[in-house]
Amino acid sequence: MLIRFLHLIGPMLWLGGGVAAMLIGFSSKADSHEARVVVYRLLARVHALVIAPGAVLTLLSGVVLTTNIVTAGGGDRLGTPGMATMQVGGLIAAVLMVAVSLPTANRRAAIIKSGSGPEQDAILTQLRKRQIMASSIAGLLIIASVWGVA
């Protein structure tokens, strides 16, 4: 019961935090450098305190649920396409989140804080593209995971 609860709370934090971060990121594009220093710092915090913990919670609770089902002899329940989509898609999305999105958010905050100029702008553009790519793939995989078990 507790694990199932955590397995539902995890994706809420993950996807909810991710959508909020994405919208804040988009709407801060035209803001001043000073404003974006603050926004990027807060986005890095949201990644570290809400989005990444949501991803880790989802993955860990998913592993525990899987183990419980297998040890109870219900392994055949895990072989359905929807379940496989959730497990594989969820795993890839969580790795993308922790290995790419989180460090990218931290780097963006550090780079923008270091000053404004063409050098910083070039790195920020590259990091932004990386963030959009990783988060979009993870977001689609989360949605596919929910769809798979809906």
Residue type, 32: S
From the CB of 84, what's the least distance to ligand HEM, in Å? 10
Cβ 135 vs Cβ 26: under 8 Å = no
In the numeric block, the tokens 């001043």 are attached to 32
CA-wise closest residue to 3 among 50, 46, 58: 58
Q: Is 87 in the site for ligand HEM (CB under 6 A)?
A: yes
Stretch that binds ligand HEM, among 85-93, 105-113, 115-123, 127-135 (CB under 6 A): 85-93
* Token digits of residue 89: 């898609």
Size of the site for ligand HEM (CB under 6 A): 21
Q: Is 86 in the site for ligand HEM (CB under 6 A)?
A: yes
Q: Is 25 in the site for ligand HEM (CB under 6 A)?
A: no
25 vs 62 by CB, closer to ligand HEM = 62
Q: Is 69 in the site for ligand HEM (CB under 6 A)?
A: yes
Radius of gyration of the chain from its Cα atoms, rounded to whole angstroms: 18
